């Protein structure tokens, strides 16, 4: 048992090291090749890919990673087969929505020339979404090696393709989106041999869709609101300060993504482990697990953010060149932001394990309201400082709400027995 868990954690960290490392290199190459303004435009286009992915996580993968491990050996193939169908339906829906959105955007804002993204952005969004679903599926069923292979093809392919195309063609935002979409598709193809035993039935699909909805009905709204929270400040910054300001901020965030190697690796493993601990050991077992997880998240994040915050201009110059220097002050704010993020993960994991997802909605609604109300005055008054302050303030509010509601719910649960939230 211990050897199996160690193997799972080992592949989880190896996979996340791969994904985070390749994402870091992709961001670095795009920033250098596109420049601050074009990189800012790419970042603004990519927020819609992240929107589709956040909804997918809410409806498909979060329920799967918490409900899937509770299935019997007999029921697992039917459950995961239905989840595959739900994921396919969601991908088609988002493709249509993004296609229409770009068409409408081209009519109302012809000066933005968004028609150049007409197929690149929707395809990048759905292929990225499906590949991300598959990697989380493999972690849920205990096949981390399969996730590693899919990510190896997708994320390494991204870096290699960007390097080749930059040498051969004029590299722009549209080409960058096509690269991300095509390499995600290759990652999907590479994952096919590892799918395992899955089956499908209409009745089973209906039952599983209903259970997923019971789990995720609050998460869907919170995903849209969280996207609003995370991107309102960026969109306002782009409108008031210019796209280059977003490019500078995203470039700095890309360096802090080093902390996500551990953070995101744990996000692939903790939900499954926490759900199992709660299911078999009850409330007290879950609380002990969450406390240990919080210490792990913090102790791995702290040294990295300190190193980056001590010499920010050095890192900007070394990684991106002189065109990105002069914005080192961003690093101290981001250091605090990423520390807060690391402490929020165990709270989210705990809420998912007990299938209590209301807090995600209320938290997202609160922070979205704050972002909508304060983004314009903050950016107008303080520039990028306003964006950074807004980010930190929202994280403090969100963490406080999640902790309060999680602890209140845990106190209402019997110490040694799980509850049934079906």
Q: What is the 3-state secondary structure (H, E, C) of 368-395?
A: HHHHHHHHHHHHHHHCHHHHHHHHHHHH
- pLDDT digit string (tens) for 114-154? 677 788 889 999 999 999 999 999 988 888 889 999 999 99
CA–CA dist 233, 314 (Å, integer) = 27
Q: CA 391 to CA 221: how far, in whole Å?
A: 20
Q: What's the pLDDT score for residue 417?
A: 56
285-328 per-position pLDDT tens digit: 788 888 888 888 888 888 888 888 888 888 888 888 778 878 88
Q: Which helix (H) or strand (E) holds 118?
A: none
Which single residue is written with the structure tokens 């012809």? Answer: 110
**Integer Cα distance of 366 and 360 in angstroms:** 10
Unique residue bearing structure tokens 């001590």:
310
Write out pLDDT tens, residues 142-192: 888 899 999 999 999 999 999 988 877 778 888 999 999 999 999 999 999
Mean pLDDT of 26-36: 86
CA angle centred on 264, ends 69 and 85, rounded to 5°: 45
Residue with tokens 């759900």: 275
> Using an 8 Å Cβ cutoff, are 53 and 187 in contact?
no
pTM of the model as a whole = 0.73
Q: Which two tokens stand for residue 60?
A: 């498909």
Query: Of the given ranges (97-111, 242-256, 295-309), which has the lowest mean pLDDT?
Result: 97-111
């Amino acid at each position: 048992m211990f050897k199996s868990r160690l193997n799972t954690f080992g592949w989880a960290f190896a996979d996340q090291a791969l994904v985070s490392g390749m994402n870091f290199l992709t961001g670095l190459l795009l920033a250098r090749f596109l420049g601050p303004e074009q990189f800012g435009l790419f970042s603004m286009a990519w927020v819609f890919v992240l929107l589709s992915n956040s909804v997918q996580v809410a409806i498909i993968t979060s329920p799967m990673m918490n409900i899937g491990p509770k299935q019997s050996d007999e029921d697992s193939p039917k459950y995961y087969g239905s989840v595959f169908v739900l994921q396919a339906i969601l991908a088609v829906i988002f493709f249509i929505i993004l296609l229409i959105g770009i068409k409408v955007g081209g009519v109302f804002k012809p000066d933005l020339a968004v028609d150049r993204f007409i197929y690149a952005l929707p395809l990048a969004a759905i292929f990225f979404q499906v590949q991300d679903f598959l990697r989380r599926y493999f972690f849920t069923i205990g096949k981390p090696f399969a996730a590693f292979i899919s990510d190896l093809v997708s994320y390494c392919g991204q870096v290699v393709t960007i390097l080749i195309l930059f040498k051969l063609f004029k590299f722009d935002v549209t080409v960058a989106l096509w690269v991300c979409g095509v390499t995600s598709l290759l990652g999907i193809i590479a994952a096919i041999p590892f799918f395992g035993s899955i089956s499908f039935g209409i009745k089973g699909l209906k039952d599983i869709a209903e259970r997923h909805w019971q789990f995720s009905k609050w998460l869907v709204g919170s995903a849209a609101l969280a996207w609003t929270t995370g991107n309102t400040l960026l969109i306002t910054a782009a409108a008031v300060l210019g796209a280059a300001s977003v490019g500078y901020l995203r470039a700095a965030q890309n360096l802090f993504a080093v902390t996500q190697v551990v953070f995101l690796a744990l996000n692939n493993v903790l939900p499954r482990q926490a759900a199992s601990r709660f299911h078999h050991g009850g409330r007290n077992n879950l609380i002990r697990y969450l406390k240990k997880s919080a210490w792990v998240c913090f102790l791995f994040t702290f040294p990295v953010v300190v190193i980056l915050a001590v010499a920010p201009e050095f890192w900007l110059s070394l990684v991106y060149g002189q065109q990105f220097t002069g914005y080192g002050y961003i690093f101290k704010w981001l250091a605090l932001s990423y520390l807060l993020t690391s402490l929020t993960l165990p709270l989210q994991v705990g809420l998912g394990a007990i299938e209590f997802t209301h807090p995600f909605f209320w938290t997202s609604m609160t922070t979205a309201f704050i972002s909508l109300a304060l983004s314009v005055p903050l950016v107008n008054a303080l520039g990028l400082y306003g964006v950074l302050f807004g980010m930190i303030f929202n994280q403090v509010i969100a963490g406080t709400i999640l902790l309060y509601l999680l602890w209140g719910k845990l106190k209402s649960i019997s110490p040694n027995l799980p509850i049934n939230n079906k």
